[in-house]
Amino acid sequence: MKRYMDEQTVAALSRGAMYLGSGGGGDVKLTELMAKRAIRENGPVPLLSPFHVPDEAWVIPVAIMGSTTIFSEHLPSGSELKKVVETIENEKHIAASAVTGLEIGGMNALTSVIAAALTNLPLLDADGMGRAFPELQMTTYHGFGVKASPAVIANRPGKTHLLLSDENTDIEKQARILVTSLGGWAAIACYPMQGWQMREAGILQTYTLTIRLGEALSAAMDAHDVMEKMQQVFQKSIYGKPVKLLEGKIVDLQRNIIEGTLKGSLVVEGSGAYIGEYLSVFFHNEYLLVQKHNATLVTVPDLICVLDEETGYPLSVEELENRGKVWVIAIPSPFLLQTAKMLDVVGPMQFGIAERFIPMEERIKPNDNEG
């Protein structure tokens, strides 16, 4: 079955991708607009099933890394995303059969669509994070042995930077320094791989799922509604069933810049059925940890969302407001992220949380008053 992504599919993808950002991943609106334009001018993008790509066909993941706020001011032309794909092709003397996602959570769900539309390649239905993460090695591609190198970075047309290293973490270090010196964001293509590797190392069919989520949420009115629809969609997916942890009011919000990055926590005071309960949510670019009265409920890589009660929108770390009324919910991560190999890369320890990962389903007893 071949599916095409048109402007309407892009709108659904963008809506769904916000919820997979786990508080990060950046605002989807600008990349959504650019993807729509690329499709309007170049035609719909074929969405390719990972099971239908030949073993030896080359697939190139793309993304934009850096500050989304700077990106929203210092606009891209779109051609950066095309350029990085073409440069990798030249560097490796290969012809790509498809582009694919690096990160499905947030704005990068759309950057791969833009790249596909501009290069006239299909989009392979998979990504390497299943959510949003802050660093390039925090992918299943890395976890399952794909080399990030050669990686190519660009943030203005005509100028690319090639990064080479055997160590994926070293590519991340080089890239981060380069992105800062380039003005705050850049397009990147890395982890070029073949079809057989993709099937082993990718989180598969996350585009289809995210589009389905976005379509289900198109008419959602409030947090209550959003939660119900999310549970329906995620129940039949590689993710687990989302759980509502608390509804209430943000009573304390600490947002700090520590060593140049955004870190902090919020405390939500329960209301209604949750009166007398308090949750603490810790974040570092994304939400990482939820504790209730000092007992841990959820940790990364499971997904944590803070929904605006009134509209059901997922609030990013940058959008949090003191006294805001919110729902805190959690979504079990895809199993691939919970494997020992991946926990070495995206487990709680990697984010400075001194705890072993225990899946949220084992920590939280089923609760009848949810939703």
Partner 1 sequence: MYRLGIDVGETNTDAVLLDRHSQIVQTVKKPTSPDIVSGICAVLEEIIERNQTDPKDIAAVMIGTTHCLQALRKKENLASVCVIRIGSGKNAAPPLFEGNDSLRRCVLPDHLEIDGGHEVTGKPLGMMDYSHIDQFFSRWRGKETIEAVVITGTFSPMNPEHETMAASHVRNIVGTDIPITLSHEIGSIGFIERENASIINALLSKAMDRALHGLQFMFQHFGIHGDIYFTQNDGSLMSYEYALRYPIRTLWSGITNSLLGSSFLTGLKNGVVVDVGGSSVHVALLENGFPKEKRRNQLIDGVRVNVPMPDIVSLPFQQEQLDSEEFLEKLYQAVQRFQPRYEPLPVIFVGGGGQKLAERFHYPWADVIVPDYHQYANAIGACIAPVSGYIDRMVWMDPFNPNEALHSAIDEATHMAISAGANPKTVAIQDAKTIPLAYVPSKALRVRVKVIGTLSLSSKGGM
Residue whose structure tokens are 């993807």 = 35
Q: Enumerate residues 104-133 that contact partner 1 by CB under 8 A.
A: none
- How far apart are the C-alpha atoms of 233 and 218, rounded to whole Å? 13
| Interface mask toward partner 1 for 279-318; x: CB under 8 A | ------x----------------------xxxx-x--xxx
Is 166 or 259 the residue whose CB approaches partner 1 more closely? 259
Binding-site size for partner 1 (CB under 8 A) equals 52
Q: Which residue has the tokens 């079990």?
A: 332
- Rank residues 89 and 308 by Cβ distance to partner 1 and give the closer one: 308
Least spacing, CB of residue 235 vs partner 1, in Å: 25
Q: Kindly tell me which residue out of 6, 33, 55, 339 binds partner 1, with binding defined by CB under 8 A.
A: 33
Compute the least distance from the CB of residue 304 to partner 1, in Å.
Answer: 15
DSSP string, 220-253: --SHHHHHHHHHHHHHTSSS---EEEEEEEEEEE
Q: Which stretch in 201-209, 233-241, 253-261, 336-344 sits in contact with partner 1 by CB under 8 A?
A: 253-261
235 to 51, 213, 338: CA distances (angstroms): 22, 11, 18
Give every CB contact of residue 219 below 8 A, 6+ residues apart in sequence: none
Q: Could you tell me the smallest distance in angstroms from the CB atom of residue 45 to partner 1?
A: 17
Among 81, 85, 163, 179, binds partner 1 (CB under 8 A): 179
3-class DSSP state for residue 164?
Answer: coil
Sign of CA dihedral 185, 22, 138, 257: positive
Minimum separation from the CB atom of position 340 to partner 1 (A): 28
Which of 202, 190, 135 lies closest to 165, judged by CA? 190
Q: Supply the minimum distance, in Å, between the C-beta of residue 237 and partner 1.
A: 26
- Select 72 or 291, whichever has its Cβ closest to partner 1: 72
Q: Token digits for 167?
A: 């160590």
Q: Does 34 bind partner 1 (CB under 8 A)?
A: yes
Q: Take residue 110 and report the two structure tokens written for it.
A: 């759309």
Contact 20, 106 (CB under 8 A): yes
The verdict on 184 binding partner 1 (CB under 8 A) reads yes
What is the Cβ-side half-sphere exposure of residue 153, based on CA atoms within 13 angstroms?
25
- Phi, psi dihedrals of residue 256, rounded to the nearest 5°: -125, 155
Name residues contacting partner 1, limited to 68-107 (CB under 8 A).
68-70, 72-79
Q: Does 256 bind partner 1 (CB under 8 A)?
A: yes
Query: Rounded to whole angstroms, how far apart are CA atoms 47 and 127?
Result: 13
Give the footprint of partner 1 on this chain (CB under 8 A): 24, 26, 29-30, 33-34, 36-37, 65-70, 72-79, 134, 179-180, 183-185, 221, 247, 255-257, 259-262, 271-272, 285, 308-311, 313, 316-319, 321-322, 325
